[in-house]
Amino acid sequence: MEEIRILAPNGVCGSGFVEASFEKGLCAQPHFIGCDAGSTDPGPSHLGSGEPAFPREAVKRDLRLMMLGARRLKVPLLIGSAGTAGADPHLAWYADIVREIAAAESLSFKLALIHAEQDKTYLKQRLHEGRIKPLHPAPHFDESVIERSAHIVGMMGAEPFMKALNAGADIVIAGRASDTAIFAALPLMRGFPEGMAWHAAKILECGAAAVVNRKTPDCMFAWLRHDHFVVEAPDEELRCTPQSVASHSLYENADPFRLIESSGTLDLTQSHYEAISDRAVKVSGSTFIPAQCYTVKLEGAELAGYQSIVIGSIRDPFIIRQIDDWTARLTDKIHARVHMVYGDRLKPTDYVLNIRIYGKNGTMGPLEPVKEILSHELCLLIEVTAPTQDVASSIAGMARHQALHLPIPEWSGLITALACPYNPAHLDRGAVYRFNINHVVEPDDPYEMFPMELIDIGAKT
Amino acid sequence: MTTLAKLARLIRSKNAGPFELTFDIMFDDAATYERVRRSGAISREAVAQRYGLPAAEVKFFWCDNALAIKASIPRPYFQGDLLDSDGHGGQQYAPLMDIEIA
């Protein structure tokens, strides 16, 4: 096989792409269509709650076009990190959409579902064997973290996708997966060199993000050969330049030259980028250093509590000039009031009170180098996180009232210090989660953490 | 003298996973990129100083192919933690903008 052609409709399924670009991509006869569908970027609540970040109808629109395109060409469709976080609830949500589209469009195909949710007993066993290791920086990890987690996923490499393709899957919907593994799997099966295959995958996994003039999320196409690959966006208005393609390896990576996968490290230090037209770029020289030990990255989320917030603003220059002292006094007052109401039933360590001050350091927190407040008004966000929603809501109500009437020495008499734009003034935010794992597992093989189901969809009975 | 924001095509920050924050400083042409490099104003130490970190905590790269400078730092709070203020890490680059370039 001299060449493998790959179509990536966009950087995340559900964000949209231009249908005409996709059709043009299909005309270039791809050997497969791949699409990433998740990330940690939308935050820990998606992994913790099992809720996807993109709306169902938006995902269905993209998925329907991809499924119809792939079945028309009779080529595989590979989707990774289903439903944002790729745990079992997300995978089931995706499988349901796939079934709905298949029924509506009378499609029949072999579907592979690859699970990435991790069994807690398995993880505890690996932990006791010393085969779970921290990355840097990593939160503290022990058996109680495994117990507390709402969901833990492993990030699969290319191998589980290869297994599904070898089993004859036409459409693969995978739980949490390395974005690049989706695109590297088939080329690696066909014997293309790892350096070029993984680098092409890295460009493709973000769709048209590597162009100079990205307008909206859209398609990218690659021609992978044995010593290089060429990338070009199907939309003729979109241009790749050597600089734009080289720049893409910077995006959301801590290190722009070394990208770590389960099976090794993609090394871009010798990569060469060359314009072969005003829209297409040829990339060569990328290498892959196989890992001494195969590792699978874990992602976990646990409940941090239930949250309520009060949003209010301050315009009085007397209060603004003493804002740090004012918030310190407010904090003491709120804790005192909570103790008055709950007594020993609720200790100060049972809940978290956080006051964010926009106009001071609300955006950057401890990283903010500007210490002087220059604004004539400040926005306060008073945030309470507690073991139950009821408690969070109650404390937020008390916080509102304490903040409203906190006295300052410059005025005598009852003041009202906080302007509240909403009524009721406090908002219940529900359950909030935190990421709690940045570790890797050393499994016996690349498959044991990722069980696969093969399902005949639309088969005549 | 001018500032980095006036010379760069794009200065941005973003999560690099939930535990690190990364900065990209990108230029349109090689001459400007070289001018910034030669000025000596941008370095691992300069980034560390702007964010109040020890230099050893900063990863720092010159990316010649991309005409870009990259730096990564540990997040002060992990993404989405109770005290985190920027879930996508997208608004943490402002302190780099006014770095003076000869």
Give the pair of three-digit tokens for residue A15.
């964000």
Q: Tokens in use for A9?
A: 């409709």
CB distance A365–B51 less than 8 Å? no
- B18 and A367 within 8 Å at the Cβ level: the answer is no
Q: Which of B24, B79, B82 sits opposite A352 (nearest CB)?
A: B82
Query: Is A271 within 8 Å of A286 (Cβ atoms)?
Result: yes
pLDDT at B79 over 70: yes
Chain A residues with CB under 8 Å of B92 CB are 363-364, 367
For chain B, give the mean pLDDT: 97
How far apart are the C-alpha atoms of A33 and A63, rounded to whole Å? 11
Domains of chain A: 4-116+156-295+442-457 (no CATH), 303-435 (3.30.70)
- Cβ within 8 Å, pair A432-B82: yes
Given a contact cutoff of 8 angstroms between Cβ atoms, the answer to whether A195 and A286 are in contact is yes
Nearest CA to CA, how far is B11 from chain A (Å)? 12
Contact B21, B75 (CB under 8 A): yes
Q: What is the CA radius of gyration of chain A?
A: 26
Neighboring chain A residues of B78 at a CB cutoff of 8 Å: 139, 434-435
Cβ burial of A126 (10 Å; 0-12, 13-18, 19+) is buried
What pLDDT does residue A459 have? 73
Closest CA–CA distance from residue B8 to any residue of chain A (Å): 14
At CA A253, angle to CA A3 and CA B76, rounded to 5? 165
A363 in Cβ contact with B91 (< 8 Å): yes
- Give the mean model confidence (pLDDT) for residues B72-80: 96
Nearest to A458 by CA among A171, A161, A34: A171
pLDDT the model gives residue A461 = 52
pLDDT at A252: 83
From chain B, the residues in CB contact with A43 under 8 A are 79-80, 87
Q: What is the mean pLDDT of each run of 10 residues along chain A (461 residues)?
A: 96 97 98 97 97 98 98 98 98 98 97 98 98 94 98 98 98 98 98 98 96 94 98 97 92 91 97 97 98 98 98 98 97 97 96 98 96 95 98 98 96 96 95 98 98 91 52
With an 8 Å Cβ cutoff, the interface of chain A facing chain B consists of: 40-45, 135, 137-139, 242-243, 246-247, 249-257, 271, 273, 299, 304, 352, 354, 356, 362-367, 369, 383, 385, 432-435, 438
Gap from A212 CA to chain B (nearest CA, Å): 11
Q: Tell me, what DSSP letter sits at residue A118?
A: P
Place of tokens 């010798």: A270
Residue of B nearest to A299 (CA): B18
Angstrom distance (rounded) from CA A137 to CA A140: 10
Q: Kindly report the nearest CA distance between residue A137 and chain B, in angstroms.
A: 6
Residues in chain B: 102
Contact B20 A137 (CB under 8 A): yes
State the alpha helices, DSSP H only, in A10-77: 19-27, 44-49, 56-73
* Torsion on CA atoms A48, A53, A58, A62, rounded to nearest 10: -80
Measured in angstroms, the CA of B46 and the nearest CA of chain A are apart by: 13
CA atoms of A364 and A368, how far apart (whole Å): 5
Return the residue of B nearest to A241 by Cα: B66
Q: Give how far Cα A290 sits from Cα of A225, A228, A320, A445, B25, Å.
A: 20, 19, 57, 15, 31
Please list every residue in chain A whose beta carbon sits closer than 8 Å to the beta carbon of residue B63: 246-247, 250, 256-257
Structure tokens at A22: 């996709």
| Start-end of H helices in A359-436 | 389-404
ipTM value for the complex: 0.94
Using a CB-CB cut-off of 8 Å, the residues of chain A touching B44 are none
Would you call A365 and B85 a contact, using CB atoms and an 8 Å cutoff?
A: yes
**Chain B residues within 8 A of A251 when measuring between CB atoms:** 14, 24
Instruction: Quote the minimal CA–CA distance from B42 to chain A in Å.
Output: 17
pLDDT in the model for residue A460: 58
Residue type, A85: A
- CA-to-CA dists, residue A412 to A7, A124, A323, angstroms: 70, 61, 18
Give the pLDDT score at A197.
98
**Residue A76: how many CB atoms within 10 A of its CB?**
24
A369·B26 Cβ contact <8 A? no
Contacts of A139 (CB under 8 A, 6+ apart): A145, A435, A436, A437, A438, B78
Q: What pLDDT shows up at residue A335? A: 97
Q: What is the pLDDT of residue A250?
A: 84
Q: Return the structure tokens found at A403.
A: 């903040």
